[in-house]
A and B are shown apart, each in its own frame.
Chain A
């Protein structure tokens, strides 16, 4: 029968031209017929279940699962975000809002001239497409595997910069603080800075 089927040409697309064929399928009858139907159910009883008891048990996601965003830090603690708004520009859902600001000697949040003063992601809008990650010129914005993004108010689902920033790890200092001595923003970008220098610590 298959050899009779030919793809419809566009000019034949009119509904009257469609032909219907009767399909010849044998019903499952008799004892063996029923057994064949129940066999799938029966055999599953001996298989390991795929479901987990969420939320008591949390299965890890795939490695590249698109979860909540994270704003990364340089190894000395300075923020990687330069407030360029390219993520906001790339966002198809208009979920990201950024305001840039000038870095000064007294208040340095990132290497170079500019940092992101305001950074908001609206998770009611975000479609987790990851275009923002592709747009980010400094790898400041990446995605974690965190998927538990539900809450009881709209306001709580607009994540601020403080909610998105990566935690401080060993060797990092909390900005604002000066840049690593004798390093410029290109060195930071090239990964020449490995950890904070004692001179970067400000007397708080």
Chain B
């Protein structure tokens, strides 16, 4: 889309001229002059509705005045328009006072117990445009005090001013029209459908945009007043969307997080996970002091110098490798990357703590590192192809952005997979149904243009040949390509070279010029030149005695394929664990070093675009240190200097290392496996992680868990008929490792496939089945 020259219109507001693009609403034009017209229902990202009538102004066009004041939030500017707001027109001023008085007729006087008190647009505007006292002498309409419209959102209907912001958001932005305005007249109220609770992944935004205290969050209920809170701009650590956030802290305790404003990324929205999943930070079982394993094999508390000495000694004694989960910040990942190369002298480092493939590693080295597909490309795309990626579940803001373009201009969405998801249904996407493992052929068959965008998720690594096909399709069509991992730190870790085949800035380890550039930047003579091992190779090498020590930061071994092997490796090796809370790694580690959580340190994440999302320390008085600082201390103890004392120093060093300008690594092609023949009681499993599931970072937030989608096993109608099951009947899905029993749900899924959530209550496929995608499972009626 080329930028068309926009017609500009000049209007006069309160005697001042302002020139704005055609179609601008009067209320927005007034804002440009700094004239604040009171409003409740108006929101720049929602369609105008004119519901609250608070923004009444006097308007005349070419000398002809409207007979009555008009709502400035619904009227676009026109040539020759003269607007008089409450500042210059007594009529508008009186009209606004009248509307305010009417709005307050039924509004309860319970500001002292209302969570919005102190930051309430109604409170503020009642002070600025309202009367000092009420003339209303009747009895106020009352409703039952708060009702749960979901486990995390409470609705107090008495306080509602019927601005319809929440219902418009749910319909226009999230496409989850689960709340509506019911009834008429004084009894009009926001309501939910009888048997459909407000289970939207984006419901928290309605709480944030509610201009009164009608919608409040259960997690923040009665926790604090705005003057108690110290607000810090921050970034979301939950996924690679990269939302701008605000963290509110009271006396060292994070009480709430709100969506920040960033027009180029999350606009003003975020998802419920980002908003409410932060209790893990204040969990009581956080690690606080270092621990080492004593002679008896027990973990005992130790001093920092002692623990660092033991860690350094153990890592120096044998060949060691680094596993860093996808949760590390860009600076921390850079620290791990530098530590592996300088202190351990190895390229055995991998940030991918999940099901991975070598094809993926080659793909991201060849096509993703240093690439710059952005949200803007989605805005401009003629079609979006989703491969191994469910935007609503795995990167919700990408979903909102696609949805925005779908609603605005019917953006075509194509999803290649085995099960049609709720998100793709909402986007009215073209669902290309393939058997699990057979995605590659369907990808090659797509016809894209150079304006298309291919969004490929991390799950593409679970089918051989997919990345090869995606790369070939992007090459042949010229389409933009983006890799959207699920975790917030993966893109940053990739740029920082926390992977075996790349050095920082996307430099191939096999290229001597690239190695020399980094060696110069790090003031060393040489760097290891052999391509390092991947996560699964590292684990296999530990079990075959080739690696004796592991440095593990923020990895859950239960996220890995063959997690029994991973646990065995952790038992066997000398493990130094950098963690925030006890986990399966810390219980097997020889040295446990506590690190700071996201709110306790500064740093940045790179979102899937590669855009830096930096954040500051929100909780100032925390004694916890960042991974980076601890790695520097271990390196110092080992006799190597990382020169990365602070996050600022690391950020400076990262900025000084430019992206690789030379030839990127080439990708070897991989081919898809042949289609498997299945018996009648066999199926190919396919799965993904839901947004709200049993993820470690969602621990301790019961209200949030309450809106998670139901755990089901999805089968096709044909299979249901063959098994003789209806919706809700129990199915037993089993492999050699174990089984899960789940209620059946018949949906649009490939006949060969069965879908179950990967990490939800009652369905943890990696540990229960050790099968997540395209592997044969047995499905019988339970």
Contacts and interface: CB of A to CB of B under 8 A. Distances in A.
A137 B112 contact: yes
Contact of B223 (A88, A89, A100): A100
B227 A82 contact: no
B158 to A, nearest CB: 12
A86 B112 contact: yes
A114 B222 contact: yes
Interface in B214-232: 221-225, 227-228
Contacts of A88: 225, 228
B112 A84 contact: yes
Contacts of B225: 85, 88-89
B141 to A, nearest CB: 14
Nearest to B117: A84
A111 to B, nearest CB: 11
B227 A113 contact: no
A175 interface: no
B220 to A, nearest CB: 11
A89 B227 CA distance: 8
Contacts of A89: 118, 225, 227
B68 interface: no
Interface in B194-245: 221-225, 227-228
Nearest to B225: A85
A88 B227 CA distance: 10
A84 B113 CA distance: 6
A113 B146 CA distance: 9
Interface in B152-193: none
A94 to B, nearest CB: 10
Interface in A59-90: 82-86, 88-89
B599 to A, nearest CB: 20
A134 to B, nearest CB: 14
B43 interface: no
Contacts of A130: none
Nearest to A100: B222
B145 interface: yes
Chain B residues touching A, range: 10 to 19
A85 B546 CA distance: 62
Interface in A86-138: 86, 88-89, 99-102, 112-114, 137-138
Interface string B107-138: 00000110001100000000000000000000
Contact of A102 (B117, B221, B227, B228): B221
Interface of B is mostly: loop
Contacts of B228: 85, 88
B282 to A, nearest CB: 14
Given A83-B222, A100-B222, A102-B222, A114 B113 contact: yes
Given A84-B117, A100-B223, A113 B112 contact: no
Contacts of A85: 224-225, 228
Contacts of B224: 85, 99
A137 B113 CA distance: 10
Contacts of A82: 112-113
Interface in A127-156: 137-138
A113 B145 contact: yes
Contacts of B145: 113
Nearest to B118: A89
Interface residues of A, number: 16
Interface centre among A88, A101, A114 (most CB of B within 10 A): A114
A138 B112 CA distance: 9
Contacts of B146: 113
A83 B222 CA distance: 8
Nearest to B218: A102
Contacts of A137: 112
Interface centre among A83, A88, A113 (most CB of B within 10 A): A113
Contacts of A99: 223-224
Contacts of B118: 89
Interface string B595-624: 000000000000000000000000000000
A137 B112 CA distance: 7
Contacts of B112: 82, 84, 86, 137-138
Nearest to A117: B222
A114 B113 CA distance: 6
Nearest to B108: A186
B145 to A, nearest CB: 6
Nearest to B112: A84
A112 B112 CA distance: 11
Contacts of A113: 113, 145-146, 222
B582 to A, nearest CB: 28
A90 to B, nearest CB: 11
A85 B224 CA distance: 8
Nearest to A135: B112
Interface centre among A83, A100, A112 (most CB of B within 10 A): A100
Contacts of A84: 112-113, 117
B153 to A, nearest CB: 15
Contacts of A138: 112
Contacts of B222: 83, 100-102, 113-114
A83 B225 CA distance: 10
A63 B113 CA distance: 32
Nearest to A83: B222
B53 to A, nearest CB: 29
A83 B228 CA distance: 13
Contacts of B113: 82-84, 100, 112-114
Contacts of A112: 113
A100 B225 CA distance: 10
A115 B616 CA distance: 34
A183 to B, nearest CB: 15
Interface centre among B113, B118, B224, B225 (most CB of A within 10 A): B113
Contacts of A102: 221-222
A107 B113 CA distance: 17
Nearest to A136: B112
Nearest to B250: A99
A138 B146 CA distance: 21
Nearest to B146: A113
B308 to A, nearest CB: 36
Interface in B523-573: none
Nearest to A114: B113
Nearest to A138: B112
A82 B221 CA distance: 13
Contacts of B223: 99-100
A84 B112 CA distance: 5
A126 to B, nearest CB: 18
A86 to B, nearest CB: 6
A88 B225 CA distance: 10
A58 B62 CA distance: 81
B735 to A, nearest CB: 44
Contacts of B227: 89
Nearest to B222: A100
A179 to B, nearest CB: 13
A41 to B, nearest CB: 56
A92 to B, nearest CB: 13
Nearest to A186: B142
A85 B114 CA distance: 11
A100 B118 CA distance: 15
Interface string B416-428: 0000000000000
A175 B98 CA distance: 44
A89 B228 CA distance: 9
Nearest to B228: A85
Interface of A: 82-86, 88-89, 99-102, 112-114, 137-138
6 contacts: A82-B112, A85-B224, A85-B228, A102-B222, A113-B113, A114-B113
For the complex of A and B, list the 4 residue pairs with the smallest distance between their C-beta atoms, beginning with the closest.
Answer: A84-B112, A100-B222, A114-B113, A137-B112
Interface of B: 112-113, 117-118, 145-146, 221-225, 227-228
Given A85-B228, A102-B222, A113-B145, 17 more contacts: A82-B112, A83-B113, A83-B222, A84-B112, A84-B117, A85-B224, A85-B225, A86-B112, A89-B118, A89-B225, A89-B227, A100-B222, A112-B113, A113-B146, A113-B222, A114-B222, A138-B112
